[in-house]
Structure 1
Amino acid sequence: MRLHTSSSSTSSSTPPSHLSLASLSALFLALPALVSASLDCHDVGAKGKHFDLSPLGGPHQVHWRRELTEAPGLFFNTTFTIDICNKLKWTKGGNKDEECPHGTRICGVERREVSANATEFVRAIPIAGDYKLQNGRDINAQWTLLRDSKSNHDTNMEGLRGELHGGKYPFAGKKGIDQQAIVEFICDNDRTGLEGDETDDSDKEEDDEDKVRRNDDEDGDSKKGRSLQFWKYEEEEQDKGKKVGVLRLQWRTKYACEDAKAEPGSSSGWGFFTWFIIILFLVIASYLIFGSWLNYNRYGARGWDLLPHGDTIRDVPYILKDWARRVANTLQGPGSRGGYSAV
């Protein structure tokens, strides 16, 4: 919206521009909501209970090996990488066509076995993440307690279930099948959740123990077996017969217990600096909104004249430019040429 400044020399026949205070208020107050809309693993809430899943942050992997029923002997390996705290990073120097787009929290990379020691890339499936800049889709995390589940199997279990959305395959274009992940965090006081963990910091091929549909029997680095387990991935029919690709994972950890204690040095919410920035932003926004309302009702101001200290705000770029010039001249000094100045 283009804003015009009104002055006493302007003809009264010129219609002044109007700045909607309601629109201005909505713009200022909506920004903090957009910032906090993403998944915050430090404070996951479900029915009044709060969980700190930040110790499980970082990329973790599970594998799924399947054989096509219509083509016996043809095997596909899919590596699912999940980071519940941050978006997954691309591999440095890697092929971007073989990775999920920026903003992905859960990604599945499928490869076809061409020989005993070689695989061929097939596709990368973005399961869940925030893609507001790409196509407006977001993770829309939904959390419920396992004891409130409709499944009889989960009613006696302690923990929480997270439904994470945002993914689509193919990702580009309007067509494609929506993706989502259902991760069950099951309370287990004897596990940190990192037992048998495999991160994505190495690019190794799968070995013989990965050649099963579910890897919950694999020992990994612990005799307890892996805490993060692949359950299944398949297309499911949901509302009105719509097909959705659903990845199901189980994660046993003490951090899913309702009486879990926070780790030393971990925070169950936003830090002081984050709150300071948000409060400062709201104070400035309130000052601008109230000042604009006051100028509108008391003086009938329009456009830039609505803002308190509007002249000063318009002069800020010039003030900064002049300040930068003074700093540059000070750092540069009087020059290296000596002797007398010319008369």
Structure 2
Amino acid sequence: MPSLWHSIPALLLLPASISAVTLDCKHIRVDKQSFDLSALGGPKTVHQLQYLQPSISNTTFTIDICQSLKRTKGVPKSDECAGGTRVCGIERIYNQADDSSTTERVIPIAGEFSTSHGRAMDPEVTRLKDSASNSDSELEGLRVELHGGKWPETSGGSLQKAIIEFQCARDVTGNEGFEDAAEGSMLDIKSYGNLTRRAGEDAQEDDDNDDDEDGPPELPDLDKGKSLQFVSYKPDSDGVGVLRLNWKTKYACEGAYDEPPSGGGSNKTAHWGFFTWFLIVTFMLAATYIIFGSWLNYNRYGARGWDLVPHGDAIRDIPYVVKEWTGGVVDKLKGSGGSRGGYSAV
């Protein structure tokens, strides 16, 4: 039966596709501790502003801890990171002269690029308490290291990675500062033009005052009030571009996985994880049995069509069995509804 044999390769690839899920934010297990970061899912952005006289550079770092970043409607592909990216950095230069902006760099920092560039995300998860750093060892939470990025996409390009420290803060959800749905959008050009002019005016005032302390003018904090904070982005000793972020959230606290969600109710996430794996294992066992049985019937008995499938006759009879059972239940309900106390009509 052609349709059956065409589906067999897809079934055989199922284990490979399951193993490709490299980071399940709903159930992160490390050192016998479980963490559920699914409440932090969705794109979150932080910024790095730099004054490049007479312009301003704004690098927007966008991260989705649970899935790949989605395309933005109306934005050219060249101005966004490729599919599979989990952490993306986009640098834009805002010019004072004509209130215009240009995209300077698009940096895929981390993601799953196995099918395109051959690089995997390879997440590394550790507890902060197990950190070699004395300061981190006193903290409670997780360090998640994500790989896979490279910029530029040339033979001489530098590898990239993101290191996110999820720090326990029991009174913070981790979504503070991202309540506005439009938060991820860039400020309009006029706002950046004003920032540029303001920065230029501050620099001119410093020159007029002959201040001995030379330095860039102070720029606004676009991430004020956010639980997610930018720390740094620079190459390490091996030349790998490293983005460091700090994320305060109650979901990084040990024991939070087993606590019921706020507002009451049971912890369905833990049960759903077990139920999901039960369905996957059951499906794989059933698929293996059908594939092996079909192969055996084909090679040993030369079977074709429905005769290939083990217990094909029983499977074909299922609709009729269900129909008869349903009809019997309906007849019983009708009989009980029309009962007259045991007396039959004369």
TM band (smaller chain): 0.5 to 0.7
Partner Cα separation in structure 2 for residue 81 and residue 249 of structure 1:
11
CA contact (8 A) 1:216 1:230 kept: no
Number of matched pairs: 269
CA distance in structure 1 between the aligned counterparts of 2:219 and 2:293, rounded to whole angstroms: 60
Q: Indicate the structure with greater helix content.
A: 2
- Structure 2, unpaired ranges of 5+: 1-8, 200-215, 310-346
State the match for 1:46 in structure 2: 30
Give 2:279's match in structure 1, choosing from 276, 279, 284.
276
8 Å contact from structure 2 (residues 298, 304) kept in 1: no
8 Å CA contact 1:100, 1:107 repeated in 2: yes
The match for 2:227 is 227
Aligned residue number for residue 184 of structure 1: 165
Are residues 87 and 311 of structure 1, via their aligned partners in 2, closer, same or farther at CA, if it must alter by over 3 Å? same
Q: 1:27 to 1:218 in 2, by over 3 A?
A: same
Q: Give the aligned partner of residue 255 of structure 1.
A: 251
Q: Deviation of residue 281 (structure 1)?
A: 2.6
Give TM-score scaled by structure 2 length: 0.67
Q: Which residue of 1 aligns with 2:320?
A: none
| Structure number with larger C-alpha Rg | 2
User: Which amino acid in 1 is paired with 2:283?
Assistant: L
Alignment-derived partner of residue 143 in structure 1: 125
- The aligned counterpart of 1:202 is 185
Distance apart, 1:190 and its partner CA: 1.1
* Cα distance in 2 between the residues matched to 1:214 and 1:56: 31
- Assess, with a 3 A threshold, how the Cα gap between structure 1 residues 195 and 132 changes in structure 2: closer, same or farther: same
For 1:71-110, list aligned pairs within 5 A: 72-110=53-91
CA distance in 2, matches of 1:232, 1:154: 17
**Structure 1 residues 248-280: Cα deviation after superposition (integer angstroms, max 9, x where no partner):** 000000000002125357624537467424521
Normalising by structure 1, we get a TM-score of 0.67
SS of the equivalent of 1:267 reads: helix
- Quote the Cα distance in structure 2 between the aligned partners of 1:175 and 1:142: 25
Kindly tell me: are residues 139 and 153 of structure 1, through their superposed partners in 2, closer, same or farther at Cα, counting changes over 3 Å?
A: same
Q: Give 1:34's aligned amino acid.
A: S
Deviation at 1:289, TM superposition (A): 3.9
Q: Is the 8 A contact 1:108 1:124 kept in 2?
A: yes
1:11-50 → structure 2 map (5 Å cutoff) = 27=12, 30-35=15-20, 37-50=21-34
Give the partner amino acid of 2:121: I
Per-residue deviation, 1:130: 1.0
Displacement of 1:288:
2.6
CA distance, structure 2, for counterparts of residue 312 and residue 272 of structure 1: 31
CA RMSD of aligned residues (A): 3.6
1:244 to 233, 240, 246: 240
| Matches of 1:98 and 1:217, distance apart in 2 | 24
Find the counterpart in structure 2 of residue 5 from structure 1. Answer: none
Structure 1: which 5+ runs fail to align?
1-23, 316-343
Task: Show structure 1 runs of 4+ deviating over 6 A.
Answer: 211-219, 293-296
Q: Distance in 2 between matches of 1:216 and 1:227?
A: 17
2:269 corresponds in structure 1 to: 267
